[in-house]
């Protein structure tokens, strides 16, 4: 019997490799840059690694690489947060509809598009130039299953027919300063996500490098979702998974992660990532100040959020 999924993945990987083949011959250093407003988009090559950077033009510094590509293995997820985001598959192992806010270099959308041949991956990003850079430098090939809208991600989600349900919603949009856009961490936004998720669907939120506000974002999530799991990474950022599916024991999560890892032959340990998932009660540094934390709402941005 012909393995159509395997054949498609083989041809898709060949197409991606062909798309980025020219990068092999490029020298190390800045391959592309464009200034706009207070920021500069830059693509930098370092041997076989390609970085997408958002640089502050006033200080010429950046705290975060927006995307990273292994030219020799373009489907390899290098960032720990990107690997941890795949833990959503523990709750939805065969997603049919996936929505991602924030495109960047497209590594996570590309991964879902490649490994889940029956899934439709919709994305939104407010920056058309980022998407053009992803196509030129990061091997992104759009088709009827991988799409991106140049639009505010929350606005796009609110405009979709309410009958459209996503198995996984991933919020991966942040500033180089380390902050999440405030409109993507509020109670109203999380309520919108809840109404757009399928039964037992999972919301994945990439929280950046501001721990004093990350805990409040999780507290806000808990007003909308019964189960909230946190994966705090050594890099300083966190992946949070929220769902209204029944709670899973640590052993159930571990077993599911192992099955997913083996089935897709992942090049990293999803099992190790699953062992880092915790509930708020397991984070004493958060529990101590929990009652004093605000719940984020659209009506008021907390003092200090943009400091």
Asked whether the beta carbons of 187 and 104 are under 8 A apart, the reply is: no
**Residue 140 — very low, low, confident or very high, per pLDDT cuts 50/70/90?**
very high
Q: Are residues 45 and 192 in the same domain?
A: no
Least confident of 2-11, 32-41, 141-150, 282-291: 2-11
60-114 pLDDT, tens per residue? 555 567 899 999 999 999 999 999 999 999 999 999 999 999 999 999 999 999 9
Q: Which domain holds residue 139?
A: 80-292
Q: Are residues 151 and 49 in the same domain?
A: no
Q: Are residues 171 and 96 in the same domain?
A: yes
Least confident of 126-140, 150-164, 167-181, 197-211: 167-181
250-278 pLDDT, tens per residue? 999 999 999 999 999 998 999 999 999 99
The order of strands in the sheet holding 29-36 is 29-36, 39-46, 49-56, 65-70
Q: How far apart are CA 67 and CA 53, in angstroms?
A: 7
pLDDT score of 27: 96
Asked whether the beta carbons of 139 and 74 are under 8 A apart, the reply is: yes
**Arithmetic mean of pLDDT, 284-291:** 91
**Arithmetic mean of pLDDT, 222-234:** 95
CATH code assigned at 237: 3.40.50.150
Asked whether the beta carbons of 76 and 104 are under 8 A apart, the reply is: no
- The contacts of residue 38 (CB under 8 Å, 6+ apart) are 56, 57, 58
Q: Are residues 20 and 169 in the same domain?
A: no
pLDDT score of 58: 62
Residue 180 inside a domain? The answer is: yes
CA dihedral 263, 265, 271, 276 (to 10 degrees): -110
Q: Are residues 30 and 130 in the same domain?
A: no
Q: Are residues 124 and 255 in the same domain?
A: yes
* Structural domain count, the chain: 2
Question: Strand (E) positions, the chain?
Answer: 29-36, 39-46, 49-56, 65-70, 97-101, 120-125, 146-150, 166-171, 197-207, 227-232, 238-243
Q: Are residues 90 and 61 in the same domain?
A: no
Q: How far apart are CA 224 and CA 294, in angstroms?
A: 15
Cβ neighbours of 172 (radius 10 Å) = 25
pLDDT score of 18: 95
Mean pLDDT score of the chain, rounded to an integer?
Answer: 91
pLDDT at position 178 over 90? no
- Buried b or exposed e, range 253-269, using 16+ CB within 10 angstroms: bbebbeebbeebebeee
Q: Are residues 42 and 103 in the same domain?
A: no
Joined tokens for residue 281? 């009660």
For residue 85, give the nearest of 205, 245, 2 by alpha carbon: 205
Phi and psi torsions of 287, nearest 5°: -60, -40
Give the rounded percent of residues in the chain with a pLDDT score beyond 70: 93
pLDDT score of 34: 86
Asked whether the beta carbons of 94 and 247 are under 8 A apart, the reply is: no
Q: Are residues 36 and 102 in the same domain?
A: no
pLDDT score of 1: 37
Q: How far apart are CA 92 and CA 79, in angstroms?
A: 22
For residue 33, the 8-state DSSP code is: E
Angle subtended at Cα 13 by Cα 11 and Cα 19, rounded to the nearest 5 degrees = 105
Q: Are residues 87 and 65 in the same domain?
A: no
Dihedral sign computed on CA atoms, order 76, 78, 80, 81: negative
**Arithmetic mean of pLDDT, 25-37:** 89
Least confident of 14-23, 171-180, 241-250, 287-296: 171-180
Examine the fold and report which residue of 70, 88, 120 is the final residue of a domain before the chain moves on.
70
Residue 47 inside a domain? The answer is: yes
Q: Are residues 117 and 224 in the same domain?
A: yes
> What's the predicted TM-score (pTM) here?
0.94
Cβ neighbours of 25 (radius 10 Å) = 6
- The contacts of residue 268 (CB under 8 Å, 6+ apart) are 77, 83
Q: Which residue has the higher pLDDT, 7 or 294?
A: 294
Q: Which residue has the higher pLDDT, 226 or 210?
A: 226
């Amino acid at each position: 019997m012909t393995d159509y999924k395997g054949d498609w993945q083989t041809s898709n990987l060949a197409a991606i490799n062909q798309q980025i083949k020219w990068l092999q011959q490029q020298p190390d250093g800045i391959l592309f840059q464009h200034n706009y407003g207070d920021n500069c988009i830059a693509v930098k090559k370092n041997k076989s690694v390609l970085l997408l950077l958002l640089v502050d033009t006033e200080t010429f510094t950046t705290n975060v690489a927006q995307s990273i590509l292994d030219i020799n293995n373009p489907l390899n997820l290098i960032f720990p947060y990107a690997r941890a985001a795949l833990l959503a598959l523990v709750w939805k192992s065969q997603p049919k509809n996936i929505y991602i806010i924030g495109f960047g270099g497209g590594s996570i959308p590309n991964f879902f598009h490649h490994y889940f041949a029956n899934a439709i991956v919709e994305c939104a990003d407010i920056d058309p130039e980022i998407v053009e850079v992803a196509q030129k430098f990061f091997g992104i090939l759009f088709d009827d299953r991988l799409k991106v809208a140049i639009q505010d991600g929350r606005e796009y989600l609110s405009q979709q027919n309410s009958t459209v349900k996503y198995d996984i919603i991933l919020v991966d949009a942040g500033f180089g300063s380390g902050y999440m856009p405030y409109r993507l961490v509020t109670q109203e936004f999380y309520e919108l996500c809840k109404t757009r998720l399928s039964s037992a669907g999972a919301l994945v939120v990439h929280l950046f490098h501001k721990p004093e506000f990350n805990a409040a974002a999780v507290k806000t999530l808990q007003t909308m979702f019964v189960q909230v799991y946190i994966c705090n990474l050594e890099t300083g950022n966190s992946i949070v998974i929220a769902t209204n599916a029944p709670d899973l024991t640590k052993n159930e999560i571990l077993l599911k992660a192992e099955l997913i890892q083996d089935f897709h032959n992942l090049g990293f340990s999803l099992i190790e990532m699953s062992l880092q998932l915790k509930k708020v009660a397991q984070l004493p540094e958060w529990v101590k100040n929990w009652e004093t934390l605000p719940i984020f709402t659209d009506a008021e941005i907390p003092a200090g959020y943009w400091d």
